[in-house]
Structure 1
Amino acid sequence: MKQLLALAFVALLSAGCANTTGVGYYWQSVAGHVLLMQAARPVDDWLADDAAPPKLKERLEAARRIRQFAVSELALPDNNSYQRYADLKRRAAVYNVVAAPALSLKLETWCFPVAGCVGYRGYFLESSAKAFADSLDPQLEVAVYPVPAYSTLGWMNWAGGDPLLNTFIHYPEGELARTVFHELAHQVVYVQNDTAFNESFATTVERLGGALWLNRASEQARTDYATFDHRRRAFRALTRATRERLKAIYEDARLGDAAKLQLKAGTLNDFRQQYEHLKAGWNGYAGYDPFVARANNASFAAQAAYDDWVPAFEALFEREGRDFARFYDAVRALSGRPKDERQAALRELAPTALAASDTPRP
């Protein structure tokens, strides 16, 4: 019974409300998560397996050290999550669908009984995600993108917890650490109907924790991560600037729709040209090509929630003496306040921070 209740919870966490979602969506949520859990084996088993590739064993050893660091240095939960590993034989844990109007960066939302209303729908099969995307209003701009990890918010720790996955285990060591820290942070604080708060908090924990981890990592790990992070920062700066340009166009009351569409097209063209210029210095790295190829209002909006409140959370961390336990207590206190009060408090901590849309991590 306990297992059935937990699986039902995961379905509710991952699925939309009954008035907008059929039984098939609930079933794919349950079946997909069950298969993921069944594929997971304890890290120790993989390390003892002579057939396991040496490179995988090396990464799992690193992941085990990262997991211990999360508890001892970052005060993150000490539980079963990320103590097991699963090879899903695919490139993503889930595939998210996002959608937005042609002249707006506000995502369409779907409501979830546990997670609240968020701006995405997740599917375990890419084909299912694309089928749902194709079923949406053709006037909407739609994007489907892979997600390497997701959190069950600690509700599945009794059954083994959220596992390490092939979808992110081979990230550079610093990014692997950040991914684990980010997902564990969701088990510390999660607020219904406020993805911007949740994701910006988790991003703050991953950044702070990732920096501390790299201080103790090898020189090679720091070099590998620096290359990875340099590209990411440059790309995010470009997408952020483009998003602000688009927002200004859409909110300009002096412009008619035709003029807005023309300016939008020019902005997207500039974005792609600037990306090609950036990529020219990346020694052949093309990891952002899929985003650029599908770039539209939906994909730009889906990136917004992960950075906008981070300066405020970083200021809160400093206010709490850079003590992670005190920081988490302060965030929990904020999470209990009404959304408008939370946002006002965050703006007071970092006046330049912007309220982000309710969007998922790309």
Structure 2
Amino acid sequence: MNIAFWERLGRKRATTLHATPLLRWLAWLVLAALLGGCADAPYYAQSVRGHWALMSAARPIDDWLQRPDASDALRQRLTLVQSIRHFAATDLHLPDNVSYTRYADLQRRYAVWNVVAAPADSLTLKTWCFPVAGCVGYRGYFDKTQALALAATLRAQGLEVSVYGVPAYSTLGWSNWLGGDPMLNTFVNYPDGELARLMFHELAHQVVYASDDTAFNESFATAVERLGGALWLARQATPQARQAFGVFDQRRRQFRALTRSTRASLIRVYKENKPLALINKVQVAMKKKVMADFRADYATLKDSWDGYSGYDAWVAEANNAAFAAQAAYDEWVPAFEALFDQQGRDWRRFYDAVGQLARQPAPERKRNLLALCNGPVLCNPPL
């Protein structure tokens, strides 16, 4: 079973199932049953319940704009969402479908909580495999308590674990027949530039998706969000929004440069000590020094940020799992940006070229990505 199957099913059944809640629910049960052969039933049950609750809470944005109990602030944000959605389809040639045409207030800060894990001597994420998404380096929960329970189990196995909230996720287009991915309260109030970028990122997942390659998928979506976000800021944003985003983005780039250099240092430590046992005191000492240097460098960097503390929590809990998860989102971005230039900065040609990469065997795809970014130094891909 693959994503294309569900997209075809959605297109075929949209007219007959869209207005029938019972059939919708049965469809989700069928999906859970098909997926259930790959993992435990309770996990898929919470996935179905959680996503069903999210989808059921969503209402058309046009309806929200007419609601007397909707605040002026919410109306302004939803109007901006509609404008960004139009820009995504017309200027970036992202899918023009029902995604982000509805809104839901989940009454919580995050849509889901992801759990990631890695060995104490490696930046290679533990993976979980699913028939639709393939193998991915995370496991998501709608209930934070369940995410923390899994984290405790993984720590007991000797793994380093990170649990983090996720404001939005993509169903890769296969839920469009159910109304599509909705706008959520978890990110509707993001600064204008960040809101646009996140929408572009999630919509990009509907364009190209390579099974079993989280780094490829997330780096591609990040490249689209960066390139598309820059275009949106230049053409649509107010001067105030551009200025605010510039400050925020500079800090983000500085922080990611620091985490990239730290990842490279950790990889060197683990490679140099690979023949030795994990209990090797030299490796442990080297790792501690890398982490101490990271936190010291962050403190120095933060001093120039006028009191901004947005990365404090991440730094306080940083470990192999956190570094590895972050790597998936940006390590191939230079390759995709180079490919965009190579395709004449034409979005359709770019998507076609990325689709060709996605269809290649993983080793060939990695070689071609490395060639695009002139070798491993620039891209520093996850090992």
TM-score category (smaller protein): over 0.9
How far has the Cα of 1:107 moved from its partner? 1.0
Distance 1:40 1:111 in 2: 29
What are the superposed Cα offsets for residues 195-214 of structure 1, whole Å, 9 maximum, x if unpaired? 11111111111111000000
Report the number of matched residues: 355
**SS state of the match for residue 205, structure 1?**
helix
In the alignment, which residue of structure 2 is the partner of 1:229? 249
Check if 1:135 corresponds to 2:153: yes
What are the superposed Cα offsets for residues 102-161 of structure 1, whole Å, 9 maximum, x if unpaired? 111111111111111111110001111001111125211111001111000001111110
Check if 1:239 corresponds to 2:281: no
In the alignment, which residue of structure 2 is the partner of 1:285? 308
How far has the Cα of 1:267 moved from its partner? 1.3
The residue correspondences of 1:1-362 to structure 2 (distance < 5 A) are 3-4=24-25, 6-8=27-29, 11=32, 18=37, 21-138=39-156, 139-216=158-235, 217-253=237-273, 257-353=280-376, 354=379, 356-357=381-382
What 5-or-longer segments of structure 2 have no aligned partner?
1-16, 18-22
Distance 1:116 1:356 in 2: 20
Distance 1:66 1:260 in 2: 49
Distance 2:247 2:380 in 1: 30
Distance 1:332 1:84 in 2: 28
The 4+ residue runs of structure 1 with deviation greater than 4 A are: 8-13
What 5-or-longer segments of structure 1 have no aligned partner?
none
**Does the 8 Å contact 2:264/2:380 carry over to 1?**
no
Scaled by the length of structure 2, the TM-score of the pair is 0.88
How far has the Cα of 1:290 moved from its partner? 1.7
Distance 1:6 1:271 in 2: 48
**Does the 8 Å contact 1:12/1:114 carry over to 2?**
no
One-letter identity of the residue aligned with 2:55? M
One-letter identity of the residue aligned with 1:3? R
What are the superposed Cα offsets for residues 15-38 of structure 1, whole Å, 9 maximum, x if unpaired? 7x645x322111100000011111
Distance 1:352 1:9 in 2: 45
How far has the Cα of 1:222 moved from its partner? 0.2
**Does the 8 Å contact 2:155/2:161 carry over to 1?**
no
One-letter identity of the residue aligned with 1:36? L
Distance 2:352 2:337 in 1: 14
In the alignment, which residue of structure 1 is the partner of 2:10? none
Report the structure, 1 or 2, having the larger helix content. 2
Root mean square deviation of aligned Cα? 2.0
**SS state of the match for residue 298, structure 1?**
helix
Question: Does the C-alpha gap of structure 1 residues 282 and 56 become closer, same or farther in structure 2, counting only changes over 3 Å?
Answer: farther
One-letter identity of the residue aligned with 1:229? D
Identical residues among aligned pairs (%): 59
One-letter identity of the residue aligned with 1:70? A
How far has the Cα of 1:59 moved from its partner? 1.3
Scaled by the length of structure 1, the TM-score of the pair is 0.93
Distance 2:26 2:360 in 1: 30
How far has the Cα of 1:357 moved from its partner? 4.0
One-letter identity of the residue aligned with 1:233? R
**SS state of the match for residue 64, structure 2?**
helix
How far has the Cα of 1:298 moved from its partner? 0.6
Distance 1:286 1:91 in 2: 18
**SS state of the match for residue 70, structure 1?**
helix
